[in-house]
């Protein structure tokens, strides 16, 4: 058994940013545990550009963005272990992990930052009937096969779900000579970024069919076609609207799920809405000394926001280790009237400074105001032409507004109509 | 030395192969798929039935009860997961108590002496998530659960260790008399002459018999659709939950798997296509809705996959076990439920009959013990530390959901009757069987298969020829 002040689980964008900022806040005894053989996480397979516009004010590819943070971690001499899978953690911050070289290792940490990212929702979770032939991939798996390994998963493709990875893969596979026949989306709106719909589908004349789903997958051995159908308002397929599309591949981009298997072992309280931990404004979960940031906390659209959130988490974890943790009472922030969730869910009453709130809405709304209401009074309001579930919204409360929230009995984030 | 050909490498073929390997004979198993347990044996409820359900006097009743009693010793000998978790047959109507009574009487007559009738409250005391509508139940503590494909694999490996030869991707077209021997003709033109042919062809056992014999059989594929729930739903029941049976079978079950998942199903629809493995929108809906009658708090959110299994239902209704007329072909036709439970007893019986016809001597070097792949996920920390020291590949976790290491995957490929593709690795190690359903690990497992088997990535399949996963290299 060895001791470490801070163990960061995951060497992707969240873990790297958290490590760097914890170091910069004075913490030197840091260990990053990464299960892949390379730092950078999922960014390594995202070879398209568009990363870093907020953080670095330039357009980078995924690996370029990752390498900026990897360099910073290496410059600081922060310790990391690759090919190392964390097998368990507990609420006493005992971390068990394994790799080929060191075997089974057990650490006792003063603080843990969960930065394990998310996983893709598989076919089974969405109950598509039909065969179990080869040729059904999650979009991320297909992305890894093409971009990391150099293999084509198929030639004629239908994509179910308009999540960002699905959209990116529609373009990627088209570039590689595959024919993407359609992107089929169950909802009447996309769950991906608008810029991706324009750049990845519209520019290549790939049809995006809203309110449609795949009802059957056909094929023996390999997928030979899929049957799609329109769905009604309750999302049930409408009989008689079926059409068969010949294809050898079905990509699924039907949602990402924060990967919290380890969190559960440490009794970390999870939100049923985000699928990630419930955290306070220090990004600390309700298990003392365990922090969470990035996609393991809630699924982000842009890596820039993952980095920002994780830098904050790293800084606060370093402060926690020094004994400077926030204590005492906190106020809960409730998501209401169109807002599905807010992160953080709790804010400490003590402490000063600005407060960043991140949220997602539950539907597409036009001409609304995103409001923070404390004890019935509006503390903050932002006009939005449109808000969609596919794009995370961020609010920054200034010092005065934050103070009002911290002093309130009831704090709510909600949507309100714009008065004419 | 006598030549014995077994056709079909399901649980029946593999268990008979193993029992025959106790004798001094040349035993060859021909299988059309590229692995064992690729048909009915991989897609069923995995229940080791108590034996109260089969009609007294039938072969089903006889071999069910005898088979059930063999599992404790057998599962240790062959190192496959098995647990006696007990079963309830649930009664939802006060006027159907006679149905339970009938099962009870049947149980007594069949020699299942541990069954008893209990109240709904007693059921809910053990299994609190069972519906409040349950008025009473038949309780059978000797009922168990097993991993059907792992049991089949264990039998096959032990058979191979004891000299049985397995030939895969060898589809038999017909069997014909050839002098005193039988000639097995394969679709690819290969022929095998045998002193005895053992017909374990499952769904195709009728066609095989009919190609040789006067007396004809007909197998009707009876399709059953299932849903598998995540291990996080495992709290819902530890006991096998049946509803009172109908003419089509034992109804929809809610049953735990030996690995802690929950299985819902099967539906029962007679179909034509013996190759059909498709699930249907309506079938899955039926399985789920009926399972909710038993456990109302089920949610579809917990579903991780769906699958279809086909039962080899013979029109005669009972198992057909024995010599085909005066021909040296031993038939195992219509081995549907409780065929998995019955398999160990059927195998011993069949091996005795075959060995006595051929006057076989005992195989002096027969070893009944098979060791499975050491399972990292269920090891203690100490055991984990030790095994990584011995084999560092155990330190590389490939499937994160089920905590499967590269060491286990390599072992699964290289052991006798080893895995050849993704599904083969999955059935032997559980890599890809968890909640992400191989999203993360499939590509790693493909690389390991390609490396260990010395094939190209483009040749790696999901489940046999025609299921290649990638179509080519990126230009």
Q: Which burial class, exposed, middle or buried, applies to A203 when counting CB atoms under 10 A from its CB (0-12, 13-18, 19+)?
A: exposed
Least confident residue range of A119-133, B138-152, B442-456? A119-133
Among A35, A125, A145, select the one facing B303 at the smallest CB separation: A125
In this prediction, residue A390 carries a pLDDT of 87
In this prediction, residue A328 carries a pLDDT of 81
Query: Which SS3 state, helix, strand or coil, does residue B197 take?
Result: strand
Distance CA B184, CA A152 (A): 41
In this prediction, residue B156 carries a pLDDT of 98
Residues within 8 A of B (CB atoms), A 248-307 only:
248, 261
Answer whether A215's CB lies under 8 Å from A242's CB.
yes
Answer whether A92's CB lies under 8 Å from A184's CB.
no
Query: How distant is the Cα of A176 from the closest Cα of chain B, in angstroms?
Result: 7
pLDDT over threshold 70, residue B233:
yes
Single out the catalytic residue among B49, B259, B313, B349. Answer: B49
pLDDT in tens, A136-181: 999 999 999 999 999 999 999 999 999 889 999 999 999 999 999 9
In this prediction, residue B322 carries a pLDDT of 97
In this prediction, residue B439 carries a pLDDT of 86
- A238-275 per-residue burial string, b: 16 or more CB within 10 A, e: under 16: eeeeeeebebbbbbbbbebbbbbbbbeebebebbebbb
Distance CA A185, CA A166 (A): 11
Residues within 8 A of B (CB atoms), A 80-109 only:
83, 85, 87, 96, 98-104, 106
Contact B470 A145 (CB under 8 A): yes
Answer whether A276's CB lies under 8 Å from A297's CB.
yes
Q: What value does the mean pLDDT of chain B take?
A: 95
Looking at residues A97-103, what average pLDDT do you find?
96
Query: How distant is the Cα of A323 from the closest Cα of chain B, in angstroms?
Result: 32
Answer whether A267's CB lies under 8 Å from A286's CB.
no
Contact A138 B439 (CB under 8 A): yes
* A346 to A282, A373, A413: CA distances (angstroms): 9, 15, 12
Entry pTM:
0.95
Size of interface A-B (CB pairs under 8 A): 142
Answer whether A355's CB lies under 8 Å from A397's CB.
yes
* B304 contact A CB<8A: yes
Please indicate whether residue B171 or residue A328 has the higher confidence score (pLDDT): B171
In this prediction, residue B6 carries a pLDDT of 98
Q: How confident is the model at residue B247 (pLDDT cuts 50, 70, 90)?
A: low
Asked if residue B338 has a cis previous peptide bond (ω within 30° of 0), the answer is yes
Contact A129 B440 (CB under 8 A): no
Domains and CATH numbers, chain B: 1-82+145-218+315-372 (3.50.50.60), 83-144+220-307 (3.30.9.10), 376-459 (1.10.10.1100)
Sign of CA dihedral A383, A386, A387, A392: negative
- Find, in chain A, the residue whose alpha carbon is nearest to that of B282: A129
Q: How confident is the model at residue B315 (pLDDT cuts 50, 70, 90)?
A: confident
Task: Report the residue of A103, A176, A223, A248 to disrupt the B interface, i.e. the one with the largest count of B CBs within 10 Å.
Answer: A103
pLDDT over threshold 70, residue A410:
yes
- Phi (first) and psi of residue A345, to 5 degrees: -90, -20
Query: How distant is the Cα of A404 from the closest Cα of chain B, in angstroms?
Result: 39
Q: What value does the mean pLDDT of chain A take?
A: 94
Q: How confident is the model at residue B437 (pLDDT cuts 50, 70, 90)?
A: confident
Answer whether A185's CB lies under 8 Å from A174's CB.
no
Distance of CA B294 to the CA centre of its chain: 24
- Find, in chain B, the residue whose alpha carbon is nearest to that of A260: B401
* B439 contact A CB<8A: yes
Looking at residues A317-333, what average pLDDT do you find?
90
Residue A285's closest CA among A95, A112, A110?
A112
Q: How many CB atoms lie within 10 A of CB A350?
A: 10
A-chain CB neighbours of B227 within 8 Å are 127
B-chain CB neighbours of A134 within 8 Å are 461-463, 467-469
pLDDT in tens, B31-85: 999 999 999 999 999 999 999 999 999 999 999 999 999 999 999 999 999 999 9
Least confident residue range of A325-329, A335-339, A341-345, B457-461? A325-329
Distance of CA A198 to the CA centre of its chain: 22
Residues within 8 A of B (CB atoms), A 101-160 only:
101-104, 106, 119-120, 122-125, 127, 129-135, 138, 140-141, 144-146, 148-155
- Write out the two tokens for A343: 């992160």
Distance of CA A30 to the CA centre of its chain: 24
* B240 contact A CB<8A: no
* A123 to A382, B42, B83: CA distances (angstroms): 38, 20, 30
pLDDT in tens, A251-306: 999 999 999 999 999 999 999 999 999 999 999 999 999 999 999 999 999 999 99
In this prediction, residue B435 carries a pLDDT of 84
Looking at residues B384-389, what average pLDDT do you find?
97
pLDDT in tens, B273-313: 998 889 998 999 999 999 999 999 999 888 999 999 999 99
pLDDT over threshold 90, residue A210:
yes
- Find, in chain A, the residue whose alpha carbon is nearest to that of B232: A261
Query: How distant is the Cα of B401 from the closest Cα of chain A, in angstroms?
Result: 8
Contact B470 A151 (CB under 8 A): yes
Contact A176 B469 (CB under 8 A): no
- Find, in chain A, the residue whose alpha carbon is nearest to that of B468: A134
- Write out the two tokens for A384: 């939005």
In this prediction, residue B248 carries a pLDDT of 57
Query: Which SS3 state, helix, strand or coil, does residue A360 take?
Result: strand
In this prediction, residue A420 carries a pLDDT of 63
Phi-psi region of A255 (alpha: psi -120 to 50; beta: other; left: phi over 0): left
In this prediction, residue B249 carries a pLDDT of 60
Looking at residues A321-337, what average pLDDT do you find?
89
* B389 contact A CB<8A: yes
pLDDT in tens, B92-111: 988 888 889 999 999 999 99
Q: Which burial class, exposed, middle or buried, applies to A346 when counting CB atoms under 10 A from its CB (0-12, 13-18, 19+)?
A: middle
Answer whether A93's CB lies under 8 Å from A8's CB.
no
Is B349 noted as a catalytic residue in this protein?
Answer: no
Among B395, B443, B473, select the one facing A100 at the smallest CB separation: B395
Contact B393 A100 (CB under 8 A): yes
pLDDT in tens, B334-366: 999 999 999 999 999 999 999 999 999 999 999
pLDDT in tens, A217-257: 999 999 999 999 999 999 999 999 999 999 999 999 999 99
């Amino acid at each position: 058994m060895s001791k470490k002040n801070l163990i960061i689980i995951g060497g992707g964008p969240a873990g790297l940013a958290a490590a760097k900022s914890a170091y910069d806040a004075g913490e030197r005894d840091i260990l990053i545990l990464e299960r892949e053989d390379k730092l950078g996480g999922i960014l390594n397979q995202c070879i398209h550009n568009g990363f870093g516009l907020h953080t670095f004010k330039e357009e980078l590819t995924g690996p370029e963005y990752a390498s900026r943070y990897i360099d910073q971690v290496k410059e600081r001499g922060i310790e990391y272990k690759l090919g190392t899978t964390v097998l368990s953690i507990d609420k006493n911050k005992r971390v068990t992990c394994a790799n080929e070289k060191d075997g089974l290792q057990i650490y006792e940490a003063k603080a843990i930052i969960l930065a394990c990212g998310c996983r893709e929702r598989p076919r089974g979770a969405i109950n598509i009937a039909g065969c179990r032939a080869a040729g059904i991939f999650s979009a991320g798996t297909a992305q890894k096969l093409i971009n990391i390994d150099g293999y084509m998963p198929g030639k004629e493709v239908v994509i179910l779900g308009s999540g960002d990875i699905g959209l990116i893969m529609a373009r990627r596979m088209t570039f590689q000579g595959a024919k993407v026949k359609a992107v089929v989306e169950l909802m009447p709106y996309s769950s991906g970024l608008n810029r991706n719909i324009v750049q990845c589908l519209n520019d290549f004349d790939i049809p995006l069919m809203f309110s449609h789903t795949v009802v059957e997958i056909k094929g023996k051995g390999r997928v030979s076609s899929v049957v799609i159908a329109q769905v009604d308002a309750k999302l049930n397929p409408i009989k008689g609207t079926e059409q068969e599309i010949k294809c050898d591949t079905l990509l699924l981009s039907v949602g990402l799920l924060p990967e919290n298997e380890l969190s559960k072992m440490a009794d970390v309280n999870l939100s049923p809405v985000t699928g990630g931990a419930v955290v306070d404004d220090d990004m600390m979960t309700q298990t003392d000394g365990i922090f969470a940031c990035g996609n393991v906390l809630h699924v982000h659209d842009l890596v820039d926001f993952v980095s920002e959130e994780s830098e904050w988490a790293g800084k606060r974890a370093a402060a926690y280790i020094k004994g400077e943790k926030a204590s005492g009472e906190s106020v809960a922030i409730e998501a209401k009237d169109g807002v599905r969730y807010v992160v953080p869910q709790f804010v400490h009453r003590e402490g000063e400074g600005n407060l960043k709130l991140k949220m997602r809405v539950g539907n597409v709304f036009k001409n609304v105001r995103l409001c923070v209401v404390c004890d019935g009074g509006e503390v903050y309001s932002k006009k939005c032409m449109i808000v969609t579930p596919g794009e995370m919204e961020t609010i920054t409360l200034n010092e005065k507004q934050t103070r009002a929230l911290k002093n309130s009995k009831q704090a709510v984030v909600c949507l309100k109509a714009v008065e004419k | 030395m006598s030549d014995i050909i077994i056709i079909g490498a399901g649980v029946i073929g593999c268990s008979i192969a193993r029992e025959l390997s106790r004798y001094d004979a040349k035993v060859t198993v021909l299988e059309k798929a590229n692995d064992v347990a690729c048909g009915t044996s991989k897609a069923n409820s995995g229940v080791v039935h108590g034996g109260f359900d089969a009609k007294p006097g039938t072969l089903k009743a006889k071999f069910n009860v005898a088979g059930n009693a063999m599992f404790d010793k057998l599962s240790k000998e062959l190192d496959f997961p098995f647990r006696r978790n007990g079963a309830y047959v649930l009664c939802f109507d006060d006027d159907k108590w006679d149905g339970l009574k009938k099962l009870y009487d049947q149980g007594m007559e069949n020699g299942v002496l541990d069954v008893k009738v209990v109240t709904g409250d007693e059921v809910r005391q053990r299994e609190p998530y069972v519906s409040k509508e349950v008025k009473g139940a038949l309780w059978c503590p000797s009922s168990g659960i097993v991993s059907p494909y792992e049991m089949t694999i264990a039998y096959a490996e032990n058979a191979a260790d004891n000299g049985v030869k397995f030939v895969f991707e060898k589809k038999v077209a017909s069997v014909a008399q050839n002098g005193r021997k039988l000639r097995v003709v394969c679709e690819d033109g290969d022929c095998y002459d045998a002193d005895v042919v053992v017909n374990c062809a499952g769904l195709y056992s009728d066609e095989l018999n009919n190609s040789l014999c006067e007396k004809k059989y007909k197998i009707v594929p009876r399709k059953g659709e299932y849903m598998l729930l995540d291990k996080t739903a495992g709290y819902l029941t530890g006991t096998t939950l049946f509803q009172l049976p109908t003419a089509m079978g034992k109804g929809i079950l809610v049953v735990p798997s030996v690995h802690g998942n929950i299985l819902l199903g099967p539906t029962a629809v007679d179909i034509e296509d013996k190759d059909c493995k498709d699930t249907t929108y309506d079938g899955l809906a039926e399985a789920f809705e009926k399972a909710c009658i038993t456990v109302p708090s089920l949610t579809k959110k917990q579903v991780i996959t769906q699958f279809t299994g086909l039962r080899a239902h013979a029109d005669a209704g009972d198992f057909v076990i024995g010599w085909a007329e005066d021909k040296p072909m031993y038939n195992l036709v219509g081995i549907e439920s409780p065929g998995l439970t019955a398999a160990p007893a059927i195998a011993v019986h069949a091996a005795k009959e075959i060995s006595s016809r051929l006057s076989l001597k005992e195989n002096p070097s027969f070893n009944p013990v098979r060791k499975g792949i050491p399972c990292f996920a269920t090891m203690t920390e100490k055991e984990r530390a030790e095994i990584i020291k011995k084999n560092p590949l155990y330190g590389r976790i490939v499937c994160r959901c089920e905590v499967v290491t590269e060491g286990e995957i390599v072992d699964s490929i290289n052991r006798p009757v080893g895995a050849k593709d993704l599904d083969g690795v999955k059935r032997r190690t559980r890599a890809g069987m968890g909640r992400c359903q191989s999203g993360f690990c499939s590509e790693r497992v493909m690389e390991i298969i390609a490396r260990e088997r010395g094939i190209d990535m483009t040749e790696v399949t999901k489940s046999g020829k025609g299921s290649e996963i990638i179509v080519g290299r990126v230009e």
